[in-house]
Amino acid sequence: MPLSCRGRVRGLEPSRGDIDDSLGKFSLTLIDTLDTLVLLNRLEEFEEAVKKTLKDVRLDNDVVVSVFETNIRVLGGLLGAHVMADLLKQRGEKMHWYRDELLHMAKDLGYRLLPAFNTTSGLPYPRVNLRYGVLNPLSRTGTETDTCTACAGTMILEFAALSRLSGDSVFETYARKALDVLWEKRQRDSDLMGTVINIHNGAWVRRDSGVGAGIDSYYEYLMKAYILLGDNMYLERFNTHYSAIMKYISQPPLLLSVHMHNPTVNVRGWMDSLLAFFPGLQVLRGDLKPAIETHEMLYQVTKQHKFLPEAFTSEFRVHWGQHPLRPEFAESTYFLYKATGDPYYLKVGQSIVEKLNAHTRVPCGFAAVQDVRTGIHEDRMDSFFLAEMFKYLYLLFSEKSHLPFDIDDYIFTTEAHLLPVSLSMAEPSCEVNGTDPSLTRKEDLFTYSCPSTQTLFPNNPTYAKTIRDNYKYLTGVGRDSHSSPARRIELPLHDTGMEPMEFLKSMGISFTPLTDMAAASIGSRSQDSQKGVFRVKLVAEVSQLPEEEVVPLIVQLISPPFLGRTVLTAGPAKFGMDLTKQEHGVKGSIVKSVPYTACAHIENALELQGHIVLALRGGCMFAAKARRLQEAGAIGVIFIDQREGSSSAETPLFQMVGDGEPTQDITVPLVFLFSREGAILTAALQEHCNVDVLLLPKERQLGRDKPEKLNIKFRLAQEGELDESEGDGATIRLVLQGEVAAEAEGERAGVTAPSHCTATSTGGDPQPFSQEQKAPEDSP
């Protein structure tokens, strides 16, 4: 916790929901950073850190942890540290006392993770209790039905390494079985994978297919399992998937998710920052051109927003503003520099370092950015920052001879832990299960080899630059304001009854408002024109639509003792009930969901019926939570941000989006509170038990003072005509000044004065009113 200058201990700090599933009271940052110390040549500190780990870290904790995070961070960290300790001991430099203690700890942890694989399909549960496993009544887990593709498919490197280093084949066997199940469940026509799968029957729960969150490291581990273990089966599967990715998902320079059963349809118009790892994986595959293209697009996004937002649209606007110091962009930068030797990537790395120092460095570390638009810090520095970001940036700027070992003898796990490729020479721990030869795609130059710079671009050091230059001004940042005029294509939009914008959208054409682009982006460069890259001019009268405005909602506490005085600003959803169309909003008493994230079976469904339910953000999509809670009988849902310290005063409101599937079935109202506002609501519930709230648009806030209207009726009358009844009470008298007198007065002041009238209330002095229309010429 770099702002508080202390470590985060689970249970002692406010819960952040699923993010805390990576914390198991096992000194996460210490273990995740051990092999980083060796890479940085801090050998004495490494030896001291290993001693601390052996002395203080305990794994027999009654804590429910993420199987995926514990595997890549803790098991991977212990294995990487063991490999380094063994290397230093063999050299006689350090660690003379070491007797494989870290490997024994890794094996102990491996056995604590194995109960997660106790499912009918072989796909692991997403969580496990380190002491009680999954099915034990004391485990407080085992009710989950779903897991992400990456969660089930990112075990093979660590588990196989543990098997081959310890001689116990059980770990590799289980991890490989999970990969086999996933492979069998791929969509056979497209060879694509979904994002979330049922761990019991293998049915796909989310069918969107991309290369980002929820699926990313599945593809990474197929490729790297071949490199580490030497089994062609992994590479054959990777090549099959890779062909499908390049056919359907890759839309250079973008990587857009599609529907696995209908891959010609994009399921969303935004990308998440985790896909930034993919150019690095493409380098390992030898496919440099698309790697350079996507990496350059990501670099342009960082130029525009300082960092990669957690998600951004295909027009490069912020979709989710958080930046938790993710290392994937630095990872791909390192791999591209190794593959090309192009110093351009050193400059990219320099920009990463400078922005980290300028915008995230604080006295006790580096603080995550709550929103790239505001730059506000979050009291969070995840262990992957030290495990991955430090490694990749240090390696980027280091000469190979400066490193304490030959980096090419190792493969990086997804958490950048180092495992020796010599493990491929060890005896395979489980029987071979080859891929169906009929499914193997056509082989190319790099089907079975890593890229060679000499083969890729001999005597052509500008190869990468020529590719990058096509995407240099992708976001409009840095473009020269003087460009040649665009060639225009005219479309007869008046011939169709459809709205012009909708007509073009139906053709797959997306739009960027001209006001959002540099002036030069209206035109195309002449060389673009020759390549057939055109801007589209609409020959139709189309009103310019501003960017979709987020209508603020409120959660108003109306039961005693609040009585409407406590009002919390909330964000809306793009699905569910439209509160702006509900005259009186939606009223109900609030109840917390169990589990709080609502990502598994709802345990207190009876209690939720007829209530507005509180659920914590994270762990699964908003739409999935909403469906579960609606089925349980909720009449509304209030989602609360799990990011500590976030508030509507400091972070722009956003609209919650669906999961790529149709959301017409969700009919309850959904609102979103940032954590500070959420804390007020949960504190009220804890103190008063029964709390009634009203969900409605902010403009219809209950009890808000409305300005009183005063109706005034005028009639012209001669002096003395005033009725006696009209003289009662307050009166307003208008005295019309003669036009000639007014002009004369204006001439004396040196200006032409408009006609004026004065209003006099009973008992008051006359006050002038501006009168735009002159008085009639015959007026007195």
- State the binding site: 414
Q: What is the rounded distance in angstroms from the CA atom of residue 383 to the CA atom of residue 20?
A: 12
- Residue where the block lists tokens 């493409």: 282
Q: What is the rounded distance in angstroms from the CA atom of residue 163 to the CA atom of residue 176?
A: 12
Query: What is the dihedral sign for C-alpha 133, 135, 139, 140?
Result: positive
Active-site pick, 47, 220, 287, 310: 310
**C-alpha dist (Å) from residue 161 to 170, 228, 236, 426:** 11, 9, 21, 10
Q: What is the rounded distance in angstroms from the CA atom of residue 777 to the CA atom of residue 517?
A: 55
Residue 750 token pair: 């040196």
- Cβ-based neighbour number of residue 445 at 10 Å: 11
- Residue where the block lists tokens 């005295």: 735
- Cβ-based neighbour number of residue 40 at 10 Å: 17
Cβ neighbors of 681 (< 8 A, separation 6 or more) are 555, 557, 568, 590, 614, 638, 640, 673, 691, 693
- Cβ-based neighbour number of residue 487 at 10 Å: 16
**C-alpha dist (Å) from residue 212 to 186, 209, 218, 255, 272:** 17, 9, 10, 9, 6
CA triple 460-466-469, angle to 5 deg: 155
The Cβ-side half-sphere exposure at 358, using a 13 Å CA radius, reads 8
Cβ neighbors of 211 (< 8 A, separation 6 or more) are 219, 245, 249, 255, 275, 278
**C-alpha dist (Å) from residue 718 to 45, 507, 722, 734, 775:** 100, 70, 8, 12, 15
β-sheet bridge partners, residue 262: 259
Shortest CA distance to 514 belongs to which of 557, 468, 545, 480? 545
- Residue where the block lists tokens 């660590």: 158
The DSSP element (H or E) to which 127 belongs, if any, is strand 127-129
- The pairing of beta strand 586-592 with beta strand 612-616: parallel
Q: How remote is the C-alpha of 773 from its chain's centroid?
A: 59
Shortest CA distance to 284 belongs to which of 341, 243, 233, 226? 226
Where does 33-96 have alpha helices with state H?
34-39, 43-56, 67-69, 76-91
Q: Hey, which bits of 698-765 come out as E strands?
A: 732-736, 756-761
Q: What is the rounded distance in angstroms from the CA atom of residue 758 to the CA atom of residue 744?
A: 18
Active-site pick, 21, 47, 69, 644: 69
Active-site pick, 216, 293, 331, 415: 216
Q: Is 69 known to be catalytic? A: yes
Burial environment of residue 675 by CB neighbours within 10 A (0 to 12, 13 to 18, 19 or more) = buried
Q: What is the rounded distance in angstroms from the CA atom of residue 652 to the CA atom of residue 572?
A: 12
DSSP-derived letter for residue 388 is: I
Residue 660 token pair: 């790529």
Q: What is the rounded distance in angstroms from the CA atom of residue 69 to the CA atom of residue 19?
A: 10
Residue 102 token pair: 């870290």
Residue 273 token pair: 């920052």
Contact yes or no for 199/144 (Cβ under 8 A): yes
Query: What is the dihedral sign for C-alpha 647, 652, 653, 658?
Result: negative
DSSP-derived letter for residue 656 is: B
Residues annotated as binding site for Ca(2+)? 414
Q: What is the rounded distance in angstroms from the CA atom of residue 402 to the CA atom of residue 422?
A: 22
Q: What is the rounded distance in angstroms from the CA atom of residue 780 to the CA atom of residue 778?
A: 6
Q: Hey, which bits of 576-691 come out as E strands?
A: 586-592, 612-616, 636-640, 670-673
Q: Is 328 known to be catalytic? A: yes
Q: What residues act catalytically? A: 69, 216, 310, 328
